[in-house]
Structure 1
Amino acid sequence: MIGKNIYEIRRRRGLTLTELADRAGIAKSYLSNIERNLNKNPSVNVMEKLALVLDVELKELLNTEKPNESQTDQLDKEWVEFVNELKHSGIDKGQIQEYKTLLEFIKWQNKQDIGNK
């Protein structure tokens, strides 16, 4: 189950197996074995590296409970595709943060528009 969690989170983040392995500093073959549940007991050190790169808490990777529908549908498919498009166009998280103020203004403006109707 740990391998499946890593695989699903990696895919949601738009990372290839190679990208995740490189960023975490582990062998691609080792990561592949974890994802395919051939290695069912990876070290805590490896799991912490993966959690850091995937930007999730370690407990999310270790979660062995069957996810409910709301967890699996947590991210709307369109948003995932949008984020992947941004990533592949060369825009990174840091650049997105620069626009946070603008996004907050747009949200405020939308609330004002709704209140004026």
Structure 2
Amino acid sequence: MPKIGHRLRDLRLQKKLTMKEVAEIAGIAQSSLSYIENGNNSPSIETLETILMALGITIGEFFSEEKPELEPELRRLLDTAKKLTPEQRELAQRLLEALGKD
């Protein structure tokens, strides 16, 4: 598992939030968040929880062994694919592979 700071930065960027926005929501100094993200400082559990709340995830989700949440566009695509028949999924897979070759 990546280090806590790197994972926090990845989540923040995935949600398209600036360091300033997350720091303001979490009620911490932007410099503190920067130190944490860069691995120069480890957050307390309380600080980690407030940062995670600002990012919209729980501490359990953060430390879960499961893959991180998919981007909304990919989640919608996956949800649609789940409703397809096996034959339709095969056709969709071929279409996506053909589009990816461009």
TM interval, short-chain normalised: 0.5 to 0.7
Name the counterpart of 1:53.
Answer: 54
Is 1:75 paired with 2:77?
no
> C-alpha deviations, 1:76-111, integer Å up to 9, x for none?
6xx38xxxxxxxxxxxxxxxxxxxxxxxxxx9xxx9
Match of 2:27 among 25, 40, 44: 25
TM-score using structure 2 length: 0.60
> Aligned partners of 1:37, 1:45: CA distance in 2, in Å?
17
> C-alpha deviations, 1:23-55, integer Å up to 9, x for none?
10000000000000001x211111110111111
Select the structure with the greater relative contact order (CA < 8 A; seq sep ≥ 6): 1
TM-score using structure 1 length: 0.53
Q: Report how far residue 57 of structure 1 moved.
A: 1.3
Identity value in percent: 31
> Aligned partners of 2:69, 2:61: CA distance in 1, in Å?
15
Gaps of 5+ in 2: 75-79, 85-102
> Aligned partners of 1:35, 1:57: CA distance in 2, in Å?
18
Superposition CA RMSD, Å: 2.8
Q: Report how far residue 62 of structure 1 moved.
A: 4.3
For this pair of structures, how many residues does the alignment match?
74
3-state SS in 1 of match to 2:60: helix
3-state SS in 2 of match to 1:49: helix
Moved over 4 A (4+): none
Gaps of 5+ in 1: 81-106, 112-117
